[in-house]
Amino acid sequence: MKKILFLVSLLISASTTWAEQVVIQTKNTTMVLDVEGDKQPQYVYYGTRLSDYDLQNLQKPRSGRMDAYPAYGMNCPAEAAIAIRHADGNMSTVLGSDYVDEIEGKGNNREYRIHLVDPVYPVTVDLCYRAVYDEDIIETWTEIKNGEKKPVTLTQFASCSLPIRRGNVWLSHFSGSWGNESNLTEEPILAGQKVIKNKDGARNSHTDHAEVMFSLDGKGRENSGDVIGAALCYSGNYQLKVETDDTEYHYFFAGINPDNSEYHLKKGETFATPKVAFSFSKCGLSGVSRNFHKWGRKYMLAHGNKERKILLNSWEGVYFDINQQGMDQMMGDIASMGGELFVMDDGWFGDKYPRKTDNCALGDWVVDKTKLPEGIEGLLRDAKKHGIKFGIWIEPEMTNSVSELYDAHPDWIIKAPKRDAVKGRGGTQLILDMSNPKVQDFVFSVVDNLMTKYPEIDYIKWDANMSIMNHGSQYLTMNDQSHLYIEYHRGLEKTCQRIRAKYPDLTIQACASGGGRANWGVLPYFDEFWESDNTDALQRIYMQWGTSYFFPAIAMACHISATPNHTVFRTTAMKYRIDVAMSGRLGMEIQPKNMTDEEKALCRNAIAEYKQIRPIVQFGDIYRLVSPYDKKGVASLMYVDEQKSKSVFFWWKTESFQNEHLPRVKMAGLDANKNYKVHELNRIDLKPMDVEGKTFSGAYLMNHGLEMPYRNEPEWSKKSDWSSRVLLLDAE
């Protein structure tokens, strides 16, 4: 580590005033801050990479507040990133630059720390920036330290602030609810304030996501245009805010939601905010997505470089009706179709209170011997017999009021002081207080006991089906009750770190009433997330589309399920369900014994073909082509491998009308100078497409595209109103 005295120095008379240009570079982007002694650091530039000449001749921003981390108290009308109530009650803070550290990382990665001090109070703030060079990501966070003799109170503590020049700036964000997660919302940023926040307490990505994109030159385009992406890497309550006043800038703030979460920072304690990852691209929304996917796979996601197994999950197949024979049958069926893993979902546990429905036994992680007389040992034996791996469902942060755990430890639940606990799912569900070290030990032991006793377990589905409904910790002091939301997620992270330290090779899925934990805060400890409890293929196109803005396909669990669908009761063709699920991490959520032999044959073929394209889908670059939200009757995207030698093109109809008119889809991301041979996957048509086996140049495919038949054409009795295509493009 070296302390930078200055890059550009300005000596004024005999004073010690200094100025420095802090330049944060990635392969294709540059961020510049001016840092002058005793003053707030100022943002000067964020965008495409600048040359040394341009850096020396940068025009300074005008008509805006460019403070890197504005503090509350001396310009009260302006929005602040940090607000402190000092030990003596003073609510004003002034933060000026002291010095800058540069820390070399691996390869070309660099970290910069701008040290800020208050001239009156011994409170310091480090503004931290890490340049992730090859992936064009800049991570930023703050570290706030109290040097006062008594605690100070943090009432606002954003991770970052970023001014964005006004113009025709559009915001993309991802709203929804249970069964309808990650819906894309695109809107211009207008005067006033736009706030996106979550107050669930335990999960944070149902109602909206902690990730946004800013399209700087009009409504976002997928593969052209200037775009900034921002992702808050946090698992708890968050707040994203865009303030637009009478200046020339929008002001973006992101961080932990401060509502009812004021934090009492003790003497000598440092409060580190969660990081925000930024990326800029001139290649549109998909360009930013590709940066986040590469960064996520390399630096954030557990086992981001390892192919995911094709699995069958038992939930929609049998729900709570778990038994030894049924599990053996499902294992045999998925193995016969080429699957690699079977996951037994909810309903396998409970002794005094057997888990037959959702109203009991959470926390009692012992096998129900009535359902499974041969226990987990028998299931592992059967999985080995069928040549597949075995996984299991748990919900370790939760309990029921009807459980042996609650009988023994009623003091472990989250509950408002002097009030009855609010109960959730089944009328009995309660949430354990992860701020309590004893609860952390217990949650760790749930995994540890399973893995110690059954080390052959390959996969854990970790669920979380309840929000923090009533505010109160039986562990925290009454003075620190406002720490609950923050300490819950600190406890969760500590527990996950312990699990990963002991079981680094275990595959773990983050499920939270479906897609409640699709965030970069938990994914360093999880391999994937369950996108939604809604497995309907048509609605999944929309949800998976929005999710793909920030999360790679390898992290997105996409399952083939039964029809009528168990959530929306829509009936879709098996091929359509297959073609949608193959665009993510392929799996199945169905009872195979209820499938026809023809459906099994289709799935067997699809699994075999998915294994061929798995590296392209799970590690390739995404190019979104036609959005389902544009209501053109079709949605399309593709993945291209790093060498641009192989690609998979997905095309799904989203509506079906007679004499309809659909756009021809131009492809993207290919090598214009390479020739690609076309092969259709999952074909059910009596005749192959007219492009089957033919070769086209990358230039032709990107400038012109291929005509897709509007309907699949199997034999007459098997026709349906659902049409989709998956094409493998192989460079010759």
Tell me the pLDDT tens digit for each residue of 247-259.
Answer: 999 999 999 999 9
- Confidence band of 18 (pLDDT split at 50, 70, 90): confident
**Total residues belonging to the chain:** 732
Is 543 in the same domain as 601? yes
302 is an annotated ligand-binding site residue? no
Q: What are the tens digits of pLDDT across the range 594-647? A: 999 999 999 999 999 999 999 999 999 999 999 999 999 999 999 999 999 999
Residue at 288 is within a domain: yes
Instruction: Examine the pLDDT at 22 and tell me if it is beyond 80.
Output: yes
Catalytic site includes residue 328: no
Phi-psi region of 636 (alpha: psi -120 to 50; beta: other; left: phi over 0): beta
Is 461 in the same domain as 347? yes
Task: Write out the two tokens for 119.
Answer: 């001239």
Is 267 in the same domain as 405? no
603 is an annotated ligand-binding site residue? no
Q: Which amino acid, one-letter code, is at 687?
A: K
CA angle 368, 369, 372 (to 5 degrees): 90
Is 505 in the same domain as 582? yes
Looking at 533, 536, 621, 641, which residue is catalytic? 533
The CATH number of residue 529's host domain is 3.20.20.70
Mean pLDDT of 131-152: 98
Residue 109: predicted pLDDT: 96
Is 282 in the same domain as 329? no
Q: What are the tens digits of pLDDT across the range 112-135? A: 999 999 999 999 999 999 999 999
Residue 188 is part of which domain span? Answer: 2-300
Report the percentage of the chain scoring pLDDT > 90: 97
Mean pLDDT of 358-386: 98
- Confidence band of 19 (pLDDT split at 50, 70, 90): confident
Is 338 in the same domain as 240? no
Mean pLDDT of 568-589: 98
Is 244 in the same domain as 342? no
Residue at 91 is within a domain: yes
The CATH number of residue 635's host domain is 2.60.40.1180
Cα(first)–Cα(last) distance of the chain, in Å?
49
**Which among 550, 596, 602 is positioned nearest to 576, based on CA atoms?**
602
Residues 107 and 90: their CA atoms lie apart, in Å, by 45
Last residue of a domain, one of 585, 619, 653: 619
Is 274 in the same domain as 411? no
Q: Could you tell me which residues come within 8 angstroms of residue 212 by beta carbon, excluding any fewer than 6 positions away? A: 171, 172, 173, 196, 229, 230, 240
360 is an annotated ligand-binding site residue? no
Q: What value does the mean pLDDT of the chain take?
A: 96
Residue at 306 is within a domain: no
Instruction: Examine the pLDDT at 17 and tell me if it is beyond 90.
Output: no
The answer to whether the CB of 61 falls within 8 A of the CB of 44 is yes
Is 649 in the same domain as 609? no
Report the percentage of the chain scoring pLDDT > 70: 98
Q: What are the tens digits of pLDDT across the range 671-694? A: 999 999 999 999 999 999 999 999
Looking at 34, 382, 458, 463, which residue is catalytic? 463
Instruction: Examine the pLDDT at 11 and tell me if it is beyond 70.
Output: no
Residue 158: predicted pLDDT: 98
**Which among 67, 32, 66 is positioned nearest to 49, based on CA atoms?**
32
433 is an annotated ligand-binding site residue? no
Task: Annotate 442-479 with DSSP letters as a single string.
Answer: HHHHHHHHHHHH-TT--EEEE-------S---SSS-GG
Instruction: For CA atoms 596, 602, 606, 608, give the dihedral sign.
Output: positive
Instruction: Examine the pLDDT at 9 and tell me if it is beyond 60.
Output: no
594 is an annotated ligand-binding site residue? no
Is 611 in the same domain as 655? no
355 is an annotated ligand-binding site residue? no
Residue at 305 is within a domain: no
Is 239 in the same domain as 274? yes
- Confidence band of 105 (pLDDT split at 50, 70, 90): confident
Residues 529 and 513: their CA atoms lie apart, in Å, by 11
Is 264 in the same domain as 373? no
Q: What are the tens digits of pLDDT across the range 465-510? A: 999 999 999 999 999 999 999 999 999 999 999 999 999 999 999 9
Catalytic site includes residue 463: yes
533 is an annotated ligand-binding site residue? yes
